[in-house]
Amino acid sequence: MNTIEQLSQTYDKKQPKLLEDYLTFLRFKSISADSEYREESQACADWLKAYLTQSGFQVEQWDTAGNPSLFASYHSSAKNAPTLLLYTHYDVQPIDPIELWESPPFEPLIKEGLVYARGAQDNKGQCFYTVAALKSLIEENGGLPIHIKLIIDGEEEIGSPGLTKLLQTKKEQLKADYVTIVDLGILGPDSPAVTLGCRGIITMDVIVQGTRGDLHSGSHGGVAFNPIHALIEILSKLRDPQGKVLVPGFYDDVAELSADERKLLALEFDQAQYKKEFGSEATGGEKQYTPFERAWLRPTLEINGIYGGYSGKGFKTVIPAVANAKISCRLVPNQVPSKIGQQVKQFIEKNTPSGVQVTVHVHEGGGPGIRTAPSSKIVQAFATAYGEVFKKPCQFILEGGSIPITNGLREASGGELAMMGFGLATDQIHAPNEHFSLDRLKQGFLTMARTIALLGENKS
């Protein structure tokens, strides 16, 4: 019933209806960063809840101060069946800059095998093949070979503040033998890979205040302290020209990779390909490391935005009262997000020139760097399924991006962790014209369904 060939036939048979449902899912404007979209997000959760209920799941909505999470479970009638907890999210990133979208972000467009929409990949596409695989297995086999629990988060893109608070109280329900984060990627369209870890994150706002209000830059130029200049001075001290972060203690807790762990990873990097895909070579970060070492094994400090003063049309001669920057640090295992946040905050306060006021707000909702065990049953089951779907060996990678809830979910569930997905670096997630391919929607379905079948065959 559940070989790749059989699953592939099942998918092809169900594809028209599944595609229609996927497109319906993409039409909800479930942007978590903006509370204006609260109702649309609830409508999306309602749709998903009904879809999962129809598929045979018991579904609960878990309310938070923001968007709710959904918790769904399916009890297998198989003896000694293990429990797999799957995590995905239904919220999406904001759509700006809207003028750069070639088709409206919430009106999915299919062109040359690609589906264009906000969330097409991150994470509605990945959520959908997961749900579709479970639904189809239940329909075709009359049930599932293992117990399944499913969390669909409504706030991943803002660091999962609501779900994080619920983890302690929901421990009993979350209990599982295995937990899998379905929000990652593969190496290339024909290069299957399982992700053995991702980076953590901590974010902050920096606000530099000069005079009480904006001033005429003729009358006050050379007299008032311009906070944009103060901000530039501060920011320029954060890194040296070799890309090393100069905050004291920043690298103290970085865990080095063992030679054995390193051997497992596909670290080769193609600069020409990168330039072709993104328009520039990969030359950022710490110069003495290779690109994948910099993205996977090293922490970073990046400025994500700077604003202040006049940046509208034409020209305005003003000395602004305020200047702002947004900073994030990507972290590797053993670094503690809150500790790094405090180190950066103190460094900025110490390096602020006198004459302006600085405030650094370190945000809640960060998360630590993660590593999974490559030899675990769950990682091996996914690697086997990827290998069968692509008919070639599955590689192992790490990911530079972050899924902040991962560690909390692993601890609350007590399960062995795996991280998987079908994203590509070229999907333009978080950017205009985000897309996912119909091919990968199917491959995701097959890999998920096959992995569940394998876990069911090989119980312990």
- Would you tell me which residues interact with Mn ion (CB under 5 A)? 122
Looking up tokens 């990133």, which residue turns up? 93
- Give me the sheet containing 200-209, strands edge to edge: 300-308, 322-331, 200-209, 357-362
Nearest residue relative to ligand BES (C-beta)? 401
Distance separating alpha carbons of residues 231 and 217, to the nearest angstrom: 18
Other CB atoms within 10 Å distance of the CB of residue 361: 12
Cβ-based nearer residue to Mn ion, 155 or 293: 155
Cβ-based nearer residue to ligand BES, 56 or 401: 401
C-beta of 33: minimal distance to ligand BES in Å? Answer: 9
Cβ-based nearer residue to Mn ion, 69 or 324: 69
Burial of residue 214, with CB atoms counted within 10 A of its CB: 0-12 exposed, 13-18 middle, 19 or more buried: middle
Rounded to 5 degrees, φ, ψ at 459 are -75, 155
Name the residue among 279, 331, 274, 322 with its Cα closest to residue 302. Answer: 331
C-beta of 248: minimal distance to ligand BES in Å? Answer: 25
C-beta of 267: minimal distance to ligand BES in Å? Answer: 17
Cβ-based nearer residue to Mn ion, 118 or 147: 118
Cβ-based nearer residue to ligand BES, 185 or 291: 185
C-beta of 403: minimal distance to ligand BES in Å? Answer: 6
C-beta of 122: minimal distance to Mn ion in Å? Answer: 4
Nearest residue relative to Mn ion (C-beta)? 122
Report the interface residues with ligand BES, using CB under 6 A.
Answer: 122-123, 156-157, 159, 183-185, 201, 399, 401-404, 423
C-beta of 402: minimal distance to ligand BES in Å? Answer: 4
C-beta of 70: minimal distance to Mn ion in Å? Answer: 18
Look at residue 404 and give the partner it binds from Mn ion, ligand BES, none, a contact being a CB closer than 5 to 8 Å depending on partner kind.
ligand BES
Look at residue 293 and give the partner it binds from Mn ion, ligand BES, none, a contact being a CB closer than 5 to 8 Å depending on partner kind.
none
Identify whether the C-beta of residue 262 lies closer than 8 Å to the C-beta of residue 304.
no
Cβ-based nearer residue to ligand BES, 309 or 401: 401
Look at residue 154 and give the partner it binds from Mn ion, ligand BES, none, a contact being a CB closer than 5 to 8 Å depending on partner kind.
none
Distance separating alpha carbons of residues 410 and 85, to the nearest angstrom: 10
Structure token digits, residue 337: 């997000």
Look at residue 155 and give the partner it binds from ligand BES, Mn ion, none, a contact being a CB closer than 5 to 8 Å depending on partner kind.
none
Name the residue among 193, 161, 197 with its Cα closest to residue 181. Answer: 197
Cβ-based nearer residue to ligand BES, 148 or 184: 184
Look at residue 401 and give the partner it binds from Mn ion, ligand BES, none, a contact being a CB closer than 5 to 8 Å depending on partner kind.
ligand BES
Name the residue among 71, 70, 72, 68 with its Cα closest to residue 39. Answer: 68
Look at residue 402 and give the partner it binds from ligand BES, Mn ion, none, a contact being a CB closer than 5 to 8 Å depending on partner kind.
ligand BES
Burial of residue 450, with CB atoms counted within 10 A of its CB: 0-12 exposed, 13-18 middle, 19 or more buried: buried
Cβ-based nearer residue to ligand BES, 210 or 367: 367
For strands 147-153 and 83-89, give the pairing.
parallel
- DSSP per-residue letters across 275-300: HHHHSS----S-TTS-HHHHHHTS-E
Look at residue 388 and give the partner it binds from ligand BES, Mn ion, none, a contact being a CB closer than 5 to 8 Å depending on partner kind.
none
3-state secondary structure of 172: helix
C-beta of 121: minimal distance to Mn ion in Å? Answer: 9
